[in-house]
Structure 1
Amino acid sequence: MTESTWAQQRELFDDMITLYGRKTSLEILKNTNLKVFRLHLATSNKPAPIISEMKQLATSRNIEIRIHNKKNLSHISRNARQDQGVAIDLIAPQYRKLEHLIRADLKPGTEF
């Protein structure tokens, strides 16, 4: 991967929040006002109505679905014990990492 490609990809992910859990992901998918980049599912997920509903909602909204083994999904969710085999990348253009806020030259009363 070239330096410019890596920078573009990093910039894309800087505007995202990855959340995890079945009900959390389902509620995000149901809310059409939220922009979703990708739905991540574990291969170990047993067939369940909530998984089927998430897949159907993601497909109907043209959201990419990626299937991962449990270990790889835990790297994405960063919480293997509680991710329930599901993670979702939410596009949040107003999201800023703490490091960015610390480095920002904010005047008192400035909204961020």
Structure 2
Amino acid sequence: MAAIAAAAKEMGSVRGEVDAYFDISPPHAGASPHIKAGVMSLRQYGRMSLMGGAAGDVGFLYFTIMRKGLTLRGTFMAKAGAECVGVYGLEEWEEAFRVAGEEGRMGRFCAFDA
């Protein structure tokens, strides 16, 4: 516990701007000031990635984005749908894990059929 307290104290003294801001806010967070604070915290030529679903006006500071030369990118976290790349019996667990390691990624998976 003492180590956590020491780390928190040290982090509290950190000052300056950040290189990147990553936002995955839920829809009801649109009225929160944290997105505006994220933009304001970015350094010159900083980057911002928007992957959440905040609804409504989030209050971007147009001039701040231009003045700092910020890069903003928005995208959905994942596309709808999924692809099963293999169904395996429990005795085939080694092959299933091998295929999952090679083929498994967002939207692709292996399954077991008992």
How does the TM-score come out when normalised to structure 1?
0.28
Task: Decide which structure has greater strand share.
Answer: 2
Greater share of helix: 1
Which protein has the larger Cα radius of gyration, Structure 1 or Structure 2? 2
TM-score normalised by length of structure 2: 0.28
Bigger RCO (CA 8 Å, 6+ sep): 1
